[in-house]
Structures are given as structure tokens and as C-alpha cells.
Amino acid sequence: MKSKRAIIMLTLSVLLGIAAVMLAARWMGQQAASDKTTVLVASSDMELGQAITPTMVQSVPWPAGAVPAGAFDDPKKLEGRVVRISIFKGEPVLAPKLAPEGTKAGLDSVIKEGHRAITVKVNEVVGVAGFLAPGSYVDLLVNFRDERDKPMSRVVLERIMVLAIAQEAQRPDESKPRVVNAVTLEVTPEQAEKIDLARNIGTLSLILRNQIDTQDAATDGVRQQNLFAAETPAPVASAPVPVKKVVRRAKPKPVAAKPVEDSSSRVEVIRGLQKATADF
């Protein structure tokens, strides 16, 4: 009887445990479903200047507490909007990456407020061997002659975004660099003035930089004397000159002369074996 009762109690415990697990899993599933929302992401890469169509976005589940600022959940709100910053496949479509509503597709739609677009003529060297692409950041270097008619090279502008290369505003295949003859840059009016002056007084070159590098390089430029400055040799230590020691010898003291005895008044007297002198 005792063994039968124990088996019944064990069976009931197992059944109750299974039921509790099922109820907990169901409750957690309901909670997870209630904390989800939908966010529109790019179904393909979007280049700057493109107008968004319904086929370019798709809805995906997204945690309700982690929705990015400026995200969209209604495809109708994105129809016709123009991409201002490139968006990659699977990336959420955010308002800061889009041009203002009512903007028409084209290069002028991606220019930020207060900025302008200026085109710079380049060649294979100036254009960084064809590796420039829309969305890249460059520094501008000018080679000119200073007020003393001496050659000088200096960076005049830093972190300038490339809007287009040649007549294309879309990023090409990065594995195939392409040499172009013109690059369009996004600048402020003051920067446009500097570029216009720089290309008239000297030769412009573009320096490709990392997109996440925001630190300015404060340089004073380089001149010919800096470029070919010879290294000053370190001074060679010369051997010390031996110093001759001067030994001062003491002067001999004058010796007083002994008085010379006058022998004219002295008489030597000899008596037998004895000898004596007598003075007169």
C-alpha cells in the first residue's frame, strides 16, 4: 500500500511540473510577443540621391524597447523619400539619413543645409589612383609658391565628403578602382572660396582618409629647406689638452760670507813637536 501511494504521489508531481512548465512557456511567449514591434529596414543597398520605392524596404520584428530614433514602421511614409546617406541592406531606415520631405531625387537633394557642391578637376594621382567613391572623406593639399617665391605644400581643408565622382553619385564596385577626371565635394561657402583660390595659385591634391577618423592634423606645411634639411652631425668630443704643471722652485737664500782673517799679523811658532800661532 505504501509503495502504491508513493507511486501515485510521484506521478502527480511529474504531471503538475509539466503543466507548470507549459504555462510558464506560454506566458513568456505572450510577453515576448507583446514587447515586439516592426521596423522598416533596407532590402537592398541604397545609394545617396536615390528615391525610395516600396520594394526597397521590408518590415522586420524589433524589440519595442530598442527601436532606433527616427525609425519607420509604415512603408507609405518612406515612398519617394530621397537617401542622403548610404544605407546598406538589413540596416534600419532612419530619418537623419534621408533628405527633407518634398526633396526630388538628384545630387542637389543630398547636400546638407548650409553647404554647397564644388567640382575639382583631378587626374590619376590627384584622384588617389581611382579609389575615391561617393561618401569617401578626403583632405585637400595645395602646392604653391610662398611670398618669397619658394615652393611650399600645405593641407588647406580636412574631412571633406565626396558627393560624386565624374557624373556618378552612386558608389561603384570598390574592388575595381576607376580613374576619373572630376570629383564633386560637399563644402561650406567659406571652404569653397579656399578651394577656388587654392586651385588658382597652385596644384591641388586629394588625400583619402578613414571615415571614422575625425581628428584634425594641425600642420604648418613643409618648405624646400624642411624637405632637404641635412642632419647636423653631433659634435665630436676633442681630447683634453694636457696641462703642464709649473713647479716653482724656492730661491736659494744668500749665504753670508765668512770674514776672511787677515794673515798678515799672524805668526806660526813651532816648538819641538808643538805648533802654535801668535797674532800681533
Instruction: For residue range 28-51, list pLDDT tens digits in order.
Output: 766 555 577 889 999 998 887 788
103 and 130 in one domain? Answer: no
Expressed in angstroms, the distance from the first to the final Cα of the chain is 176
152 and 70 in one domain? Answer: no
119 and 216 in one domain? Answer: yes
Does the residue 89 lie in any domain? yes
pTM over 0.95: no
- Last residue within a domain, chosen from 181, 198, 227: 227
> Comparing C-alpha atoms, which of 206, 7, 230, 5 is closest to residue 124?
206
- Last residue within a domain, chosen from 54, 89, 108: 108
120 and 87 in one domain? Answer: no
Chain mean pLDDT for the chain: 78
| Greater model confidence, 161 or 174 | 161
130 and 84 in one domain? Answer: no
> Comparing C-alpha atoms, which of 42, 61, 37 is closest to residue 52?
42
- Give me the mean pLDDT over the 252-279 stretch: 61
- Per-residue pLDDT reduced to its tens digit, 72-131: 989 999 988 888 888 889 999 999 888 888 777 777 778 888 999 999 887 655 555 557
136 and 67 in one domain? Answer: no
64 and 44 in one domain? Answer: yes
Does the residue 29 lie in any domain? no
Does the residue 199 lie in any domain? yes
Taking 70 as the threshold, does the pLDDT of residue 234 lie above it? Answer: no
The C-alpha torsion from 180 through 141 and 119 to 107, rounded to 10°, is 90
185 and 154 in one domain? Answer: yes
DSSP state, 167? T
Task: State how far the Cα of 86 lies from the Cα of 172, in Å rounded to an integer.
Answer: 12
Domain of 191? 114-227
> Comparing C-alpha atoms, which of 182, 198, 194, 203 is closest to residue 122?
182
Contact 187, 162 (CB under 8 A): no
Domain count of the chain? 2
Taking 70 as the threshold, does the pLDDT of residue 147 lie above it? Answer: yes
| Greater model confidence, 16 or 192 | 192
- CATH number of residue 99's parent domain: 3.90.1210.10
